[in-house]
Chain A
């Protein structure tokens, strides 16, 4: 079994920083982890990608091509389409290693998920390569300044998630850039939604009144489905990184197969020690 960890989120939500932080963290803990860059428009990132889409096609090539004459967006769509037609290239590049753990650093534009069947094709391909796939959706916590904005974040995550039929972990990134007051606020949003709404004045405003029912139903959806829960992440903090990694690991059952230990094993070990 192989493990894939797709890193998604709007532009500037800290996807590449997340990848490089995890890569460094895993290097320090001597855990095997590779990063694949899937953003053809990527500028600079400080991890060493094991596979880079820009080796196949890069946005600047597409945009500079006289015949195609694409703008930034059309160009990106073209690149992703090109990748989806050349998925064999990806499998070749990834090789046939067992038990590997790969991060996929996606481009930020939501358009690539909502249009075309790129996503389902991509995931199906990974699954045929024996990958177990999990998505991680990042949102910049600096934009989450009140309950309404948090709900807005939930909706964005849902609108992406719905295209992926895989386990999802949602993350509020960049908490290291917040001041302590905002950080405490973010902590609050991670509590049960019903409590938050009770404390907050959102529902008492005129606007809140109008959308009360919608707010309540989305709140109960968040309660019901752990899929939509958010976790805060500070990439400068090893513990915080570890927490997120653990969440993802349990979502894709990483390591569960390799380390099956039965009661007998334990007993044997114990006896061995006793003797």
Chain B
């Protein structure tokens, strides 16, 4: 197994030479799924293989990081301090810390760029609460910036022990789909904690539609057509899906994990890079337009990062007021159209 690892490393070296870019691995998962332990195990493995990873911790609220982190968000943003200064609760504190960090993400990119020759993998550990990363502006900035530059792989960690219930399993998979559509990046599902429960049953469910239906029907609390339709949808998701069983405790599946990462990185090169180059170009153009608009309206809008409640009472300049009126008119029209669409038969 060590041989295959070495070979892979060698191949990467010889084929791409100094141009080789590190693979960015973003580890996502619900709280308690074992993201940090997975990162720890993966890091240990890579150190043992003399293929040191570059590890970045993005969780501002964790108490300790059990692996050597090259960049730790906690050194940049003090989450407790943010809570105090902005008068936020724990959740708002985490979101704001990550937002603040994301505004400086260009510097992180520079750091990665400097070290890219030495590291084959850049691993990101994300905040415990998955929503903070998947449904926030900062998460989007981090993923898109990375993916526009480096081969990036999303690793979705799920706690297999908690997914013995078919409904929970389905919910988790639906959430995975949501991340897939949001990021549009190569996707790897890691079923963690296989040392406690074997993940065979899950593979069976994913392979055999009827087996899953049987499990669903045996759950007395649930009987719905919607659930059946949803599992049909998911069946299509499973077909393209990379899955590995993993144990952060004893290291089972770590080689399969890296094989899958390698595969995902190849997918990125083949399918995703052209797409990202296009998006990058579009984004640059959009930025120019936005910049012009900002200059002309002379009001800077920090909508990407909002601290707390949105302001409703602006000190409106005349010029801005005009724009606002226009917006309002346009919106009214949009609403009217929408209403008409809903009830096409209504004629006045």
Contact = CB atoms under 8 A, between A and B. Distances in A.
Interface of A: 10-13, 17, 41-44, 59-60, 63, 71-75, 77, 107-111, 113-115, 120, 139-140, 142-143, 148-149, 151-156, 158-160, 162-163, 165, 175, 177, 179-180, 183-184, 187, 190-191, 205-207, 210-211, 213-214, 217-218, 221, 224-225, 227, 232, 234, 236-237, 239-240
Contacts of B312: 236
Contact of A71 (B63, B92, B136, B227): B63
Nearest to B173: A159
Given A11-B95, A43-B92, A207-B275, A217 B236 contact: yes
A251 B327 CA distance: 32
Nearest to B187: A211
Contact of B129 (A73, A154, A155): A73
A107 B232 CA distance: 30
A156 B88 CA distance: 26
Given A59-B89, A143-B135, A165-B222, A114 B172 contact: yes
Nearest to B183: A152
Contacts, number: 186
A221 B233 contact: yes
Interface in B71-107: 87-95
B135 A17 contact: no
B128 A72 contact: yes
B175 A115 contact: no
Given A11-B132, A72-B128, A159 B91 contact: no
A136 B308 CA distance: 22
Contacts of A142: 137, 303
B89 A41 contact: yes
Interface stretch (B4-12, B50-58, B111-119, B328-336): B328-336
Contacts of A159: 170-172, 174-175, 178
A151 B171 contact: no
B335 A114 contact: no
Interface of B: 30-32, 61-63, 87-95, 128-132, 134-137, 140, 162, 167-168, 170-172, 174-175, 177-182, 184, 221-222, 224, 226-227, 229-230, 232-233, 236-237, 239-240, 271-272, 274-275, 303, 308-310, 312, 326-327, 330-331, 334-335, 337-338, 341
B128 A155 contact: no
A213 B236 contact: yes
Contacts of B95: 11-12
A155 B178 contact: yes
A73 B229 contact: no
Nearest to B168: A114
Given A11-B132, A155-B177, 14 more contacts: A10-B134, A11-B129, A12-B95, A44-B309, A75-B90, A110-B30, A114-B172, A151-B181, A159-B170, A159-B178, A162-B171, A180-B330, A191-B341, A237-B335
Does more than half of chain B's interface fall in helix, strand or loop, or is it mixed? helix
A110 B271 contact: no
Contacts of A113: 171
Quick one: which of A42, A44, A152, A240 has the most chain B CB within 10 A? A152
B236 to A, nearest CB: 4
A166 to B, nearest CB: 11
B303 A177 contact: yes
B131 A207 contact: no
A203 B31 CA distance: 33
Contacts of A17: 309
Q: What are the 6 A-B residue pairs with the smallest beta carbon separation, nearest first?
A: A155-B178, A159-B174, A72-B90, A152-B181, A152-B182, A180-B330
B171 to A, nearest CB: 5
B135 A207 contact: no
Contact of A187 (B132, B177, B337): B337
Contact of A214 (B90, B128, B175, B233): B233
A143 B134 CA distance: 10
Contact of A240 (B170, B224, B335): B335
B44 to A, nearest CB: 23
A210 B88 CA distance: 42
B121 to A, nearest CB: 23
21 contacts: A44-B309, A59-B89, A60-B90, A72-B91, A73-B128, A73-B129, A75-B90, A140-B135, A152-B180, A155-B178, A155-B181, A156-B174, A156-B175, A159-B171, A180-B327, A184-B334, A187-B334, A206-B274, A214-B237, A221-B233, A232-B338
A217 B239 CA distance: 13
Contact of A111 (B31, B227, B236): B31
B271 A210 contact: yes
Contacts of B222: 165
B175 A41 contact: no
B177 A10 contact: no
A11 B175 contact: no
Contacts of B240: 210-211, 214
A230 B326 CA distance: 26
